[in-house]
């Protein structure tokens, strides 16, 4: 076998692949230099959108009805009639209930065969009595379950001081904005009679028992030794008993409600309220219940904001949980930059980022750190009170990789300073919040089916360390960067390194909160550590850290050269590192291995061969269902969801991931091959 010839052939094939990928990326770029791709999730958001349109108007058109029905039905598992949290996942009671209700609201008769199968599945998993908090909310709004049966969220929580463990600012961003709106709803208890009260009676095991049984009885929790949930449920009972007392205190409830509404209104921007589905959905109904008419400019703005998240293509129409142009743009742009195939259009991308940077609004995180000066980016077009670290680091990388002199720009300096101040006390970084490790909040019944904490995450920490390491390696930063800022970057990197050491598991790997799972975090940290390898003082320390994760990544490679890790790994330890190969996870693994191994390493070579081999034919058609769009060039297909909203509650898949990450991995591999 001629290894040199084979290597040259693979380089030529990889070069063709990245050229095709770059053609596709450039074609799908918007005129102003950004990208927007689909964010796949469950059918729940589409079902809830159908409910919203029925309640608030305008009525769905025939086209919308047909397209949404087609998409919801296509997601159903034909074998048992259920809907799961992602393709290939087992059926889920909440998702199946909402999918069934969505179709019923679209006019699909319950007698149809696929509806009967769905009903049988729902009944076999507990029926309507067992649905979770988010599904309960939609059912309560339509009068299909009683508000009285739902978990208690007294509006007076808004009045708790920030230092209180029950302050709304102890909640994670996404749960905070939704909870404030639900506080209003829980008091007002609105019912929109868009369907008869017995509309879903066929989903009760006993139609005479319409009570919710989502939370186990206190006695059962005590017997099972679940003391945390026992005391959380007990607190919920106490809140229920206290409700009449609180409402009788003169002026207290009305003042609390006014503060809830004020919180919502103060955080409205072009993305609506919180800029994702759950918060916008709850806020629309909450403000309407508080007295805002559907014609009020605020409600009109919110209704328009949610419509901006609709996605329509060859497969039908659906509602996305949110949209991520800042993230999508970064992955596509970094793919072009890493392959060396960017052109003058990247100037548009950089300017787009500068136009969307948050430089004035002091968001909620400022309350925990008064030194935090605005300078980050959100995931969405606009979410001015809630920028996040992951999007900020990738936006910053795009700017300084395109033009190294940009490191001294006000935009880059503000972004770096913001990232440094967002570092948590344990040395890691969370996503939206500082020191958000408040796990006790999920012990309350209201916390079931959500995640109330935003702790330091190994995956994000690794990516920020890679960004900071890249900055420290830049000659332009050494020449023009502030000495004080440079010291801050060095200190933050070393604090991050301590977090990495502290969170490394026995197998030498790391858990990822936001992307599946150990492959992502382990690869991200390896990429973050590669800059430490050049520091002689720390090289021995790094050698000890990296040996096990490098071996582990090689050990979990699939026979076809790919890597894959099923989202089941979040609940089943036997699935860690195992799953059908995906282009996204294969790219992550290649990037991690390339940080410390030569590009000719056998595992890396097999991974590169897999990415080259599985690229789509050119051109990309609408029927390919890429979540990006048709165009010349080529991309990669991916059925599996590899990202996370809330583990075991909401799985996600960013269409930009399956295109951008393979470009980055192949670009880095080609660059290293040329250096040999």
The residues assigned a catalytic role are 390
Of how many residues is the chain composed?
Answer: 676
Residues 6+ apart with CB under 8 A from 581: 558, 560, 561, 562, 563, 564, 610
Name the strand (E) or helix (H) holding 373. Answer: none
Contact (CB, 8 A) for 461 and 528: yes
Q: How far apart are CA 493 and CA 122, in angstroms?
A: 49
For residue 429, list its beta bridge partners.
423
What are the structure tokens assigned to 9, written together?
Answer: 């052939």
Tabulate helix, strand, coil % of the chain (nearest 5).
55, 5, 40
b/e code 590-617 from CB counts within 10 Å (16+ = b): bbbbbbbbebebebbbbbbbbbbebbbe
Place of tokens 């400019």: 297
Contact (CB, 8 A) for 378 and 387: yes
What SS3 string covers 642-659? Answer: CEEEECCCEEEEECCHHH
Q: How far apart are CA 332 and CA 657, in angstroms?
A: 8
Instruction: Tally Cβ neighbours within 10 Å of residue 560.
Output: 15
Residues 6+ apart with CB under 8 A from 240: 152
Place of tokens 């393709």: 87
Q: How far apart are CA 199 and CA 143, in angstroms?
A: 10
Three-point CA angle 379, 459, 92, nearest 5° = 75
Burial class (CB in 10 A: 0-12, 13-18, 19+), 558: middle
Q: How far apart are CA 608 and CA 591, in angstroms?
A: 11
Contacts by 234-240, CB closer than 8 A, 24 or more apart: 235/444, 236/151, 236/152, 236/444, 236/445, 236/446, 239/152, 239/154, 240/152
What are the structure tokens assigned to 548, written together?
Answer: 């096990």
Q: How far apart are CA 424 and CA 413, in angstroms?
A: 20
Q: What torsion, rounded to 10 degrees, do the Cα atoms 143, 144, 146, 149 define?
A: -150
Concatenating the DSSP letter of every residue in 407-433 gives: GGSHHHHHHHHHHHHTB-TTS-B-SSS
């Amino acid at each position: 076998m001629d290894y040199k010839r084979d290597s040259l052939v693979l380089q030529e094939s990889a070069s063709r692949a990245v050229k095709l990928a770059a053609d596709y990326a450039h074609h799908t770029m918007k005129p102003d230099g950004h990208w927007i791709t689909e964010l796949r999730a469950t059918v729940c958001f589409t079902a809830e959108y159908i409910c919203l349109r029925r309640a608030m108007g305008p009525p769905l058109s025939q086209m919308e009805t047909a397209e949404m029905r087609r998409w919801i039905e296509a997601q159903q598992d034909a074998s048992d009639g259920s809907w799961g949290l992602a393709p290939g996942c087992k059926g889920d009671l909440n998702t199946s209930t909402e999918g069934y209700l969505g179709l019923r609201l679209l006019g699909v008769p319950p007698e149809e065969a696929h509806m009967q199968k769905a009903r049988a599945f729902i009944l076999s998993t507990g029926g309507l009595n067992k649905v979770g908090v988010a599904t309960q909310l939609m059912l309560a709004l339509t009068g299909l379950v009683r508000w009285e049966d739902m978990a208690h969220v007294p509006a007076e929580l808004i009045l708790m001081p920030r230092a209180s463990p029950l302050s709304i600012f102890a909640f994670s961003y996404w749960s905070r904005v939704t909870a404030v709106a639900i506080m209003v709803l829980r008091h007002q208890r609105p019912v929109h009679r868009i369907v008869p009260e017995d509309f879903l009676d066929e989903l009760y095991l006993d139609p005479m028992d319409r009570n919710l049984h989502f939370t186990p009885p206190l006695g059962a929790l005590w017997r099972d030794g679940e003391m945390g949930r026992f005391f959380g449920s007990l607190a919920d009972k106490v809140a229920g008993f206290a409700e009449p007392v609180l409402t009788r205190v003169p002026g207290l409830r009305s003042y609390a409600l006014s503060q809830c509404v004020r919180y919502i209104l103060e955080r409205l921007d072009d993305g609506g309220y919180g800029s994702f589905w759950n918060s916008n959905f709850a806020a629309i109904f909450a403000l309407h219940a508080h007295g805002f008419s559907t014609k009020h400019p605020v409600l009109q703005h919110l209704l328009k904001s949610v419509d901006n998240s609709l996605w329509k293509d060859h497969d039908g129409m659906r509602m996305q949980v949110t949209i991520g142009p800042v993230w999508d743009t970064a992955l596509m742009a970094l793919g072009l930059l890493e392959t060396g195939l960017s052109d003058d259009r990247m100037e548009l991308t950089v300017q787009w980022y500068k136009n969307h940077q948050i430089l004035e609004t002091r968001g909620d995180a400022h309350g925990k750190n008064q030194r935090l000066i605005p300078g980050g980016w959100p995931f969405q077009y606009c979410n001015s009170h809630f920028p996040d670290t992951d999007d900020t680091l990738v936006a910053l990388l795009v700017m300084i990789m395109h033009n190294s002199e940009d490191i001294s720009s006000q935009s880059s300096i503000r972004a770096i300073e913001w990232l440094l101040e967002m570092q948590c006390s344990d040395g890691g970084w969370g996503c939206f919040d500082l020191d958000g490790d408040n796990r006790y909040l999920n012990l309350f019944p209201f916390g079931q089916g959500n995640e109330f904490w935003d702790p330091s995450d190994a995956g994000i920490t690794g990516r920020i360390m890679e960004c900071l390491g890249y900055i420290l390696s830049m000659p332009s930063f050494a020449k023009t960067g502030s000495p004080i800022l440079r010291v801050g970057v060095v200190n933050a990197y070393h604090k991050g390194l301590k977090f990495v050491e502290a969170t490394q598991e026995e197998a030498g790997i790391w858990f990822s909160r936001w992307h599946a799972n150990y492959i992502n975090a382990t690869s991200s940290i390896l990429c973050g550590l590669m800059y430490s390898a050049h520091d002689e003082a720390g090289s021995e320390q790094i050698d000890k850290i990296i040996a096990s994760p490098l071996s582990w990544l090689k050990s979990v490679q699939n026979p076809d050269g790919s890597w894959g890790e099923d989202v089941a790994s979040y609940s089943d330890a036997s699935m860690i590192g195992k799953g059908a190969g995906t282009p996204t996870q294969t790219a992550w693994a290649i990037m991690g291995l390339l940080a410390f191994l030569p590009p000719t390493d056998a595992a890396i070579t097999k991974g590169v061969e897999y990415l080259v081999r599985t690229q789509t034919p050119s051109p990309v058609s609408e029927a390919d269902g890429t979540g990006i769009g048709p165009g010349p060039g080529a991309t990669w297909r991916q059925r599996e969801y590899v990202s996370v909203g809330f583990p075991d509650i909401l799985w996600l898949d960013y269409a930009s991931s399956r295109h951008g990450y393979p470009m980055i991995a192949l670009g880095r591999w080609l660059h290293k091959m040329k250096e040999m």
